[in-house]
Structure 1
């Protein structure tokens, strides 16, 4: 049975007509789901019992189930472990800022990219998430906090550009006035750098923020951390980012996880500065998440400050990412990984 959350408004309107229902019913259902947070057809009282019955026989309204929740005592960050209809497990992270709530959503069950510093990649990729499974994470989160999510980051488990069609449809539903109506400039998509898909995304001219997981200015050391670097060189990634900027006029963000003795030298910072001078960019420095599956260690505070200052002195806007949920399994993939180990 198809999940109604996988439909955009146009598709649901067409389905209504094909099943001898009035087209406007689609907009009513969207209002119930996305504006009123009603996830049971029986409670959609302005729709006749007969119509509700016809729809429920053909279209499920399924949301992921929260099977575990962690909340940080330091900053209130919440991590949700979610069970999908087929039993697969994903996770989402809700972060509270002064401007409101932000959510980091997963786009795949697992990940095939194999980045050595990321717990999501351990065990590989199981399958892509549907648009409804991605947007379902937001609906569940809003119910959990009893408040509106205002910003969405596609930076959870999975590589968004490896699930391109479903992710694009998710963004279109998310951005729709009839749905959650979260503006494109409040959406960030993180990618390890699938170059052809960056060009394809650029041609759509969405006003979302593109965040590139770079983590090294050198192809050889990047390839040690990220297998995708063996397919696409840093030059190819930078060229695609320049194309993206020229198409969208949106500043590119670069994620850089600092690893002690691996990519945190002044030489690395100078090399990175030279790479990023072709278009407006921003570097987000991150302390690498230490996981038991590798030996990576966080850079010390002096190295991090040196790296930041070197980039700024060379004209690159740079910030050090505030660590959220440090006292819980806050890093991408850790909660799911621990759950899978406990039940294996």
Structure 2
């Protein structure tokens, strides 16, 4: 086991590490099972809550470990029931995360980075640049925070908040596996969705893992020049190479990726743009999610009218491409897709 420090988060240990720790501290083996249940199944955030452990053992744990859980700075509640949280980590970095309840289910949208370096024209997250990537436990803590606030278990998680998940691939994969672990949080693999702006090396690696996690790709245009303007951070990953990588993904996994397409008036809702999207998707295993662009404060980009969205849906479906028009959640509290940013933290530091 690696040397420990007083500030180490006990949740960074593996279950085998915990078994070794318990033996080192002279505790009987069954204490390891109890501690593992508290840490990985019951997800407590205080040693004092581990009521079936002897007090002396709890004090030993307190001396060696901590729970570095984030602090809630703000919470906003939408009229649709969604809740947006601004969470601050130990180093003062903050991120936003969103809980979305619906029909006895709870979906959580998590951030994988503080800020973002991709610079997408339609997204507020990148306005302040990239601060740093999050650890796996910091990502998981967002899910636990939302679950605890709602008082119910998260049934699905979408990695669609701040940041590019595949720019933080290793920690994102670790977080996915923690969330999926049947001896822990236990969310089904197909209910864990990672959304990338089209980082091809990440897509290729994602195709090689054994788990059946869901892949979403922020496409937003199937014309290279338009996509370059909207998404300058992935210019080097051309649409041709992206198409090839996604074909490889479906061949290896048998899973269909979802393409996210935020419709922007006069930009990607023209006839040539619609035709290009249909051509990009036709004959491939995929699902398309259409959404009207969410308003971003200070941005000149405007959402397409709904009749344009419905027209594109008809065109896609006439080519045999399964398509859904998605409704935004939390739009009134700037919690919808593309609206997350460090609003309150920026004001606090101003």
TM-score category, normalised to shorter length? over 0.9
Once residues 176 and 227 of structure 1 are traced to their aligned partners in structure 2, the CA distance between those partners, rounded to angstroms, is 36
- The equivalent residue for 2:42 is 36
The superposition leaves residues 252-295 of structure 1 with CA deviations (integer Å, 9 ceiling, x where unpaired) of 10000100000012322221111123431111011112213421
Shift of the 42–340 alpha-carbon distance from structure 1 to 2, 3 Å rule, reads closer
Call closer, same or farther: CA 1:176–1:227 in 2, change over 3 Å. Answer: same
TM (norm. structure 1) is: 0.94
Match of 2:99 in 1: 94
Structure 1 residues 336 and 143: CA distance shift in structure 2, 3 A: same
Instruction: Measure the CA separation in 1 of the matches of 2:235 and 2:284.
Output: 25
Q: Could you report, residue by residue, the CA deviation over 1:169-212 in whole angstroms, capped at 9, with x for unpaired residues? A: 11111111221011101100000011011111110132111000
When residues 129 and 229 of structure 1 are mapped into structure 2, their CA distance, relative to the original with a 3 A threshold, is closer
Alpha-carbon spacing, 1:10–1:173, altered in 2? closer, same or farther (3 Å)? farther
Asked whether the 8 Å contact 2:114–2:162 carries over to 1, the reply is: yes
Can you give the 5+ residue segments of structure 1 that lack an aligned partner in the other structure?
Answer: none
Per the alignment, do residues 30 and 43 of structure 1 end up closer, same or farther by CA in structure 2, a change over 3 Å counting? same
Q: Given the superposition, is the C-alpha separation of residues 211 and 65 from structure 1 closer, same or farther in structure 2, using an over 3 Å criterion?
A: same
Q: Which residue of 1 aligns with 2:153?
A: 148
**Which of 164, 171, 175 matches 1:166?**
171
Any unmatched runs of 5+ in structure 2? 1-6
Residues 70-99 of structure 1: per-residue CA shift (max 9 Å, x gap):
1111x1111111111111111111111225
CA pair 51-259 structure 1, distance change in 2 beyond 3 A: same
> What's 1:227 paired with?
232
Q: Hey, what's the Cα distance between the residues in 2 that align with 1:142 and 1:115? A: 30
2:324 pairs with 1:310:
no
Q: Give 1:46 deviation, angstroms.
A: 2.2
Counterpart for residue 66 of structure 1: 72
Trace 1:1-344 onto structure 2 (pairs within 5 A).
1-17=7-23, 25-73=31-79, 75-98=80-103, 100-332=105-337, 334=339, 336-343=341-348, 344=350
RMSD value, Cα: 1.9
Instruction: Find the aligned partners of 2:338 and 2:263 in 1 and give their Cα distance.
Output: 19
Shift of 1:16: 4.3
